[in-house]
C-alpha cells in the first residue's frame, strides 16, 4: 500500500535584525503552527501503519536561508551554505520539532525587530543609548549565525537576550523622557527659562513628536515675556494699582494661561481692584448724600453692593439715603399742603396730608392738617350747595341743617377769603328765609290742593298761608280731571297763586 505525502519545508525568515517585519498577507506564526500540527498529526497516524513502506528520502531537508551580518542589507547567494545531507534524513516528528524551534527563533526575532523599530523611529535611541543599542544588535547578529547553523534553541536565546536589552532601553528611554518632562514642567513653574528649555530639548531628543514636549518647549520660549509681565503686575499691586495689575495678568493669560500661580495672583489682584472700586463708590455715595443728591447717592451705594452684596457700609448708606429721601418727600408734601391751604384748595391739601400719613401714620402735623382740610372741604361744599339752591331753605328741616352748617363754618379756622364770602352769603340767605311771607292761593272749591312741606289744604276758593321763602310744589287733583302740578317760589310781595283742575279725562 503506497500513499503520497506532501513535502515538509521550513518557512524562510529574514535573519537580520534590520530586516522588515512580517508582510501583510503572510500567515502569522501562531496560525502556521496550528496548521502544521494538524497536518502532522494526521501524517503520524498514517505513518504508524505504512512506515515500513515509505521511503525515508521523501522528506526533503529544509532549505537554509542566506547568512546575513549585523549590517547586511542584501543576500549573497554565492556564500549560502549547502543543505546538510543528514538533515534530509530526519523522520517527520523530529523534522516537526526542528520546525517548531525554527518558529520560536522567528518569533523572538520578530519581537526584537519590533522593539528595534520603536527605538529607531520613535525614540531616537542613537542620541542617548547607542552603546546598549549596539550590544543588542551584536546579540541579534549572533542569533542570526546560530539560526543559519540551524541551532535554533541557541538562536532563540540570543534573540531573546537582544530583545531584553532593547526592552530595557525602551524602559530607560521612557524614564529619561518622563524625568526630563517633569524637570521641564518644574522649571516652567519656577520660571527658569534656560533649565526649562534644556529639559524639553532632552525630551524631544527621545521623542521629537511628543505633543506635550512640544507644548512645553513653546511655553519655555514665552517665559521671558511672562517673567517681565509678572514683575510688572507685582509692582502695580505694591503700588495699589490693582486694576492695572489685573490688566497685565490678563495679558499673561493670553500668552500662557498655564503659568504657575497666575490664577491665584489674578484673583488677588481682582479682589484688590474690587475693594478699591467699593471704596470709591462709597466715597461718592456719602458725598452725594451730604449734598442732598439722593439719586446719585443711591446709585453709588447700589454699585458697591453689586461688587459685594451685603457690604454693611453700603447698606447703611442706602438706609440713610432712604430716610433722607422719605424726609424730603414729607417736607415736599407738607409744603404742597400748606400752599393748597393758603389757596383754600382743600381737596388738594387733604390729598397731600393723606400721602404723608401713608408713609407714617404718626406724623402729627399731617394728622392735624388732614382733620383741618376735611372740615374745611366739607364746609365749603355744604355752603356752596346752600348758595346754589336757596329755595330748598323753604323746608324747615333743610333750613335747620343750613343753620347748623353755617355755625360750623363760622367756627372754622383759618377763615379764608373764599370761606368768608360763602359764610356771608349763606348768612344772608338764612336771614332772608327766616321770616314767613303771606301767600294767597285761589281755586274753584272743587280741586283738592296739596302744598309741599305744608301738606293737604283740601278744596277752597281762596286761602292765605304764611310760608317761608323758598320753592314749593303745589298739586291740584279732581275726580274726572287731569292733575295739575305747579312749581312756585315764595318771595316777598308775590302775586296770588291760582290752581284748578279743568282738563277732563
Q: DSSP letter string over 225-266?
A: HHHHHHHHHHHHHHTT-HHHHHHHHHHHHHH-TT-TTHHHHH
> Which pLDDT value is given to residue 26?
40
Q: State mean pLDDT over 247-271.
A: 92
> Which pLDDT value is given to residue 57?
38
Q: Assess whether pLDDT exceeds 80 at residue 190.
A: yes
Which range has the top average pLDDT, 99-108, 198-207, 445-454? 445-454
Hey, what's the cell of 285? 455715595
Q: State mean pLDDT over 88-106.
A: 75
- Nearby residues of 267 by Cβ (< 8 Å), 6 or more positions away: none
Query: From start to end of 31-96, where are the E strands?
Result: none
Q: Assess whether pLDDT exceeds 60 at residue 327.
A: yes
> Tens digits of per-residue pLDDT, 335-387?
999 999 999 999 999 999 999 999 889 999 999 999 999 999 999 999 999 99
How far, in Å, CA of 146 to CA of 153, rounded?
A: 8
Q: Rg of the chain's alpha carbons, rounded to an integer?
A: 63
> Which pLDDT value is given to residue 131?
76
> Tens digits of per-residue pLDDT, 131-148?
777 877 788 887 788 788
**SS3 for 433?**
coil
Q: Assess whether pLDDT exceeds 80 at residue 62.
A: no
Query: Which range (10-14, 123-127, 251-255, 341-345) has the least confidence?
Result: 10-14
How far, in Å, CA of 453 to CA of 45, rounded?
A: 151
> Which pLDDT value is given to residue 122?
66
> Which pLDDT value is given to residue 126?
62
Question: Top-level CATH class of 435-505?
Answer: mainly beta
DSSP 63: P
Looking at per-residue confidence, does 92 or 283 come out higher? 283
Confidence of residue 405 (pLDDT cuts 50, 70, 90): very high
Query: Which range (67-76, 220-229, 381-390) has the least confidence?
Result: 67-76
Q: Do 351 and 373 contact (CB within 8 A), yes or no?
A: no
Looking at per-residue confidence, does 276 or 37 come out higher? 276
DSSP 493: T
- Which residues are registered as beta bridge partners of 467? 437
pTM over 0.85: no
Which residue ranges make up each domain of the chain?
A: 1-66+86-209, 220-342, 435-505
Number of CB atoms found within 10 A of residue 1's CB: 5
Q: Assess whether pLDDT exceeds 80 at residue 2.
A: no
Number of CB atoms found within 10 A of residue 123's CB: 22
Task: Write the Ramachandran bin of 341: left for phi over 0, alpha for psi from -120 to 50, otherwise beta.
Answer: alpha
- Indicate the average pLDDT of the chain: 80
DSSP H helical segments within 389-435, as ranges?
A: 396-411, 417-432
Q: State mean pLDDT over 300-328.
A: 92
Amino acid at each position: 500500500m503506497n500513499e503520497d505525502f506532501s513535502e515538509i519545508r521550513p518557512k524562510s525568515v529574514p535573519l537580520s535584525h534590520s530586516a522588515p517585519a512580517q508582510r501583510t498577507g503572510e500567515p502569522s506564526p501562531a496560525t502556521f503552527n496550528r496548521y502544521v500540527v494538524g497536518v502532522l498529526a494526521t501524517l503520524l497516524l498514517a505513518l504508524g501503519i505504512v512506515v515500513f513502506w515509505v521511503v525515508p528520502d521523501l522528506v526533503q531537508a529544509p532549505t537554509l536561508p542566506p547568512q546575513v551580518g549585523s549590517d547586511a542589507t542584501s543576500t549573497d547567494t554565492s556564500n549560502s551554505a549547502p543543505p546538510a545531507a543528514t538533515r534530509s534524513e530526519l523522520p517527520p516528528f523530529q523534522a516537526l520539532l526542528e520546525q517548531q524551534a525554527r518558529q520560536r527563533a522567528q518569533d523572538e526575532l520578530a519581537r526584537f525587530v519590533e522593539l528595534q523599530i520603536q527605538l529607531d523611529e520613535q525614540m531616537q535611541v542613537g542620541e542617548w543609548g547607542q552603546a546598549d543599542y549596539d550590544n543588542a544588535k551584536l546579540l541579534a547578529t549572533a542569533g542570526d549565525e546560530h539560526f543559519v547553523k540551524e541551532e535554533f534553541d541557541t538562536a532563540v536565546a540570543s534573540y531573546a537576550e537582544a530583545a531584553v536589552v532593547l526592552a530595557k532601553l525602551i524602559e530607560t528611554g521612557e524614564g529619561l523622557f518622563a524625568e526630563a518632562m517633569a524637570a521641564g514642567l518644574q522649571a516652567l513653574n519656577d520660571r527658569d527659562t534656560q533649565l526649562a528649555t534644556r529639559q524639553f530639548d532632552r525630551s524631544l531628543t527621545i521623542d521629537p513628536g511628543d505633543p506635550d514636549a512640544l507644548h512645553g518647549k513653546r511655553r519655555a520660549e514665552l517665559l521671558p515675556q511672562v517673567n517681565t509681565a509678572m514683575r510688572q503686575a507685582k509692582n502695580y499691586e505694591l503700588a495699589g494699582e490693582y486694576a492695572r495689575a489685573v490688566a497685565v495678568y490678563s495679558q499673561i493669560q493670553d500668552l500662557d494661561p498655564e503659568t504657575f500661580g497666575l490664577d491665584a495672583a489674578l484673583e488677588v489682584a481682582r479682589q484688590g481692584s474690587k475693594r478699591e472700586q467699593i471704596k470709591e463708590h462709597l466715597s461718592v455715595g456719602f458725598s452725594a448724600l451730604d449734598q442732598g443728591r439722593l439719586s446719585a447717592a443711591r446709585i453709588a451705594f447700589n454699585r458697591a453692593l453689586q461688587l459685594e452684596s451685603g457690604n454693611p457700609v453700603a447698606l447703611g448708606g442706602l438706609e440713610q439715603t432712604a430716610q433722607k429721601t422719605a424726609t424730603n418727600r414729607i417736607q415736599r408734601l407738607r409744603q404742597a399742603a400748606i400752599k393748597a391751604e393758603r389757596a383754600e384748595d382743600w381737596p388738594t391739601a387733604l390729598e397731600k396730608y393723606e400721602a404723608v400719613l401713608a408713609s407714617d401714620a404718626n406724623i402729627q402735623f399731617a394728622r392735624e392738617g388732614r382733620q383741618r382740610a376735611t372740615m374745611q372741604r366739607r364746609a365749603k361744599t355744604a355752603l356752596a350747595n346752600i348758595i346754589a339752591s336757596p329755595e330748598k331753605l323753604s323746608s324747615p328741616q333743610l333750613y335747620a341743617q343750613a343753620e347748623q352748617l353755617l355755625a360750623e363754618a363760622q367756627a372754622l379756622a383759618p377763615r379764608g377769603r373764599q370761606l368768608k364770602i360763602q359764610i356771608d352769603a349763606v348768612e344772608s340767605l338764612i336771614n332772608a328765609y327766616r321770616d314767613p311771607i303771606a301767600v294767597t292761593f285761589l281755586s274753584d272749591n272743587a280741586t283738592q290742593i296739596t302744598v309741599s312741606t305744608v301738606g293737604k289744604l283740601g278744596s277752597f276758593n281762596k286761602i292765605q298761608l304764611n310760608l317761608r321763602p323758598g320753592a314749593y310744589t303745589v298739586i291740584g287733583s279732581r275726580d274726572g280731571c287731569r292733575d295739575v302740578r305747579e312749581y312756585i317760589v315764595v318771595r316777598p310781595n308775590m302775586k296770588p297763586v291760582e290752581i284748578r283742575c279743568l282738563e277732563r279725562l
